[in-house]
Structure 1
Amino acid sequence: MKLSKLCAAALIAVIGATAALPVAVSANQTSLDSTGTVTVGKGTIDPEDPNSIVDPEDPDGPGIDPETPGVKPNPDIDDKGIIAVSDLNFGNIAIGTTTANAASVALVDDAGVATGETRGNIVSFGDVTGTYTGYTIYGELTSQFTNGTTTLDASTITYTNPLLATSGTGTIAAAPEAVVVLSKDGGTKSFVKAANTEGSGLWTLEFGQSSTYTGSAATATDNKSVTLDIPTSVASAMTTGTYTATVTWTMGATA
């Protein structure tokens, strides 16, 4: 009798201990992962979209309206290239003048009304191909200042006080060239170099910054950072009238 009671007590103890143990669950039996996929294709840059032209002094804010007077969007851009450039207005000068600065860009709102804000002259560019192989931004004085049969021979355009900004997370490690001089016989000159894997997204290079700029670059230089220099001998023999030149901007392969 005592032996039977002991055996029964031992059996109850074993059953109780077993019930207290955690139940081992097979992950394959009770859970199953689902897979999410998304396929990313190349983007498209719309030069008529105000946000395509990054405001270099406020890259996180609204872009520069493509209808801003003096700003010329590129109608042929697709997914990589020059988005827009600003024309250079050196104003009115007198015969004998050897130096003139290009006016700043006067910003406008959505209704085309001047906001009172200005920016330095710009070249805007981008790469949304998804396969970032880098590039170089070149400028070239492809035609000299000419008025009828009179040409301002040997005149040059000098770009200073560069500020490079993007609205995205892309990077360009190399700083833009601090000073670039374009001449009719000087060929293309490099302004910005994005190495392989760099330069994704939308970018703007500004020459000179406005008086309200809060960054570290020189302020109140937006109307004195693109300079026309005319040789003295040429300046003294200029004829009256409007002279026109062409600066061609190109996105080329990584140098």
Structure 2
Amino acid sequence: MKKTLTLTATSLAAVVGLSLVAIPAYAEEAVKDGGITTSKGDITFEKNKGTTKPKDPDTGKPVIPVDPDPVVPTNGPLSIDYISNVHFGTQKISGSTEVYYATLDQVKDAESGAISERPNMVQITDDRGTNAGWKLTVKQEAQFKNGSSELDGAVLKFENPTLKSSNKSATNTPTAKAMTLSPAGAASDVMIANANQGMGTWFDQFGADQDSGKQSISLTVPGDTAKVEGKYETTLTWTLTDSAV
């Protein structure tokens, strides 16, 4: 500070002939009387151990699943918030190979109570703050079964993955994959967030809109597969790991 004032005074003296004695003296007094000090700012972070509620992928507003048996979410800070159950409805027994499509998911707006249909989806939240990345996989534990009867050769597919997020950018966006599941086979990758990707809440819709969502999850059942009356079910296991490896 003194050096700056001295240079300024010298410059002025060269132009208008001012004395070089008085200005540095005033500068000394200003520093003595006013002085310099510092202050601090701070913020403390803690882990988010709560549960992130299901949201509307387009508005970010809370929604409530209409399904009477919703998937149980996991706790944060890295969490599976919501997964649509896959329902193929009631179908006529057929001796021909048939492709059945999952019905759209239904959710209720938490504020208005209005029920709407939307593509089946997965919702993931990463509030760790580490930017370490993550990976979501799914495994079909067994073939669709009804008691001792099972749908031999039936194939379950998830197609047209569409990512949505308020944090979506060229660098932060994970990769979403289409999947063809194999009963009791290896797990399939669903979403992969490499390092510095996938922070915040992400939605993986199967279908960009209602029309494409109606034909994005399919179950192909061979015509020569024996079928009996009643409900056939299977279990899908979704696993979220804390790195993309």
TM-score normalised to structure 2 length: 0.78
Closer, same or farther: CA 176–22 of 1 in aligned 2, 3 Å: farther
Query: Is the 1:68–1:112 Cα contact (8 Å) retained in structure 2?
Result: no
Closer, same or farther: CA 74–201 of 1 in aligned 2, 3 Å: farther
Closer, same or farther: CA 15–155 of 1 in aligned 2, 3 Å: closer
Map Cα deviations across residues 63-112 of structure 1 (whole Å, 9 max, x no partner). 3x234326734344232131111111101111125211000012312278
Shift of 1:22: 9.6
Aligned: 1:245 with 2:234: yes
Residues in 2 aligned to 1:81 and 1:239: alpha-carbon distance in whole angstroms: 38
Aligned: 1:68 with 2:66: yes
Residues in 2 aligned to 1:74 and 1:133: alpha-carbon distance in whole angstroms: 25
Shift of 1:17: 8.9
Residues in 2 aligned to 1:167 and 1:28: alpha-carbon distance in whole angstroms: 52
For 1:55, the equivalent position in structure 2 comes to: 56
- Residue aligned with 1:209, SS: coil
Residues in 1 aligned to 2:180 and 2:33: alpha-carbon distance in whole angstroms: 69
Residues in 1 aligned to 2:102 and 2:145: alpha-carbon distance in whole angstroms: 17
5 Å-filtered alignment, 1:228-239, equals 228-234=219-225, 237-239=226-228
Query: Is the 2:125–2:200 Cα contact (8 Å) retained in structure 1?
Result: yes
Closer, same or farther: CA 21–29 of 1 in aligned 2, 3 Å: closer
Identity %: 26
Residues in 2 aligned to 1:99 and 1:69: alpha-carbon distance in whole angstroms: 23
Task: Give the paired residue count.
Answer: 224
Query: Is the 2:71–2:85 Cα contact (8 Å) retained in structure 1?
Result: no
TM-score normalised to structure 1 length: 0.76
Where structure 2 has 5 or more consecutive residues not aligned to the other structure, the ranges are: 1-16
- Residue aligned with 1:187, SS: coil
For 1:254, the equivalent position in structure 2 comes to: 244
For 1:208, the equivalent position in structure 2 comes to: 207
Residues in 2 aligned to 1:71 and 1:104: alpha-carbon distance in whole angstroms: 15
Aligned: 1:150 with 2:139: no
For 2:213, the equivalent position in structure 1 comes to: 222
C-alpha RMSD of the superposition? 3.0
For 2:49, the equivalent position in structure 1 comes to: 44
| Equivalent position amino acid for 2:234 in 1 | A
For 2:132, the equivalent position in structure 1 comes to: 133
Shift of 1:226: 0.5
